[in-house]
Amino acid sequence: MAEEERVNDSGSGSASWSHVSEIPQVCLDGRNWPKSVGACVVVGTLLFLINQSQVVFSGQATVATWVRIGLSYLVPFVVANYGIVMASRRPG
């Protein structure tokens, strides 16, 4: 199946989808991946600093703390991908 492209307002093509099976292609597209990772790093780091840094830097981090830190990075990554997927849907 060939990857579909559409032209956005900036004139550059981006991956789009009309069937659920095409969503991974959109998320892994080389133009979308850096956006999701960037959101993950920036927002995840801010969430870590706000919510978990005191525990980690005081040496009291538990396994549960590290799971929460992982989720602090995972959630922005998923939300960024969700936004990209919703913005790239093609009718049909």
* 3-state per-residue secondary structure call for 23-40: HHHHHHCCCCHHHHHHHH
Q: What is the pLDDT of residue 13?
A: 63
Domain spans, the chain? 27-87
Q: What is the pLDDT of residue 34?
A: 92
Average pLDDT over the chain reads: 87
Check whether 2 has a pLDDT greater than 60. no
Check whether 3 has a pLDDT greater than 60. no
For range 29-34, the mean pLDDT: 91
Length of the chain: 92
Reported for 37-40, long-range contacts at CB under 8 A and 24+ positions apart, including other chains, are: 37/77, 39/76, 39/77, 39/79, 39/80, 40/73, 40/74, 40/76, 40/77, 40/80
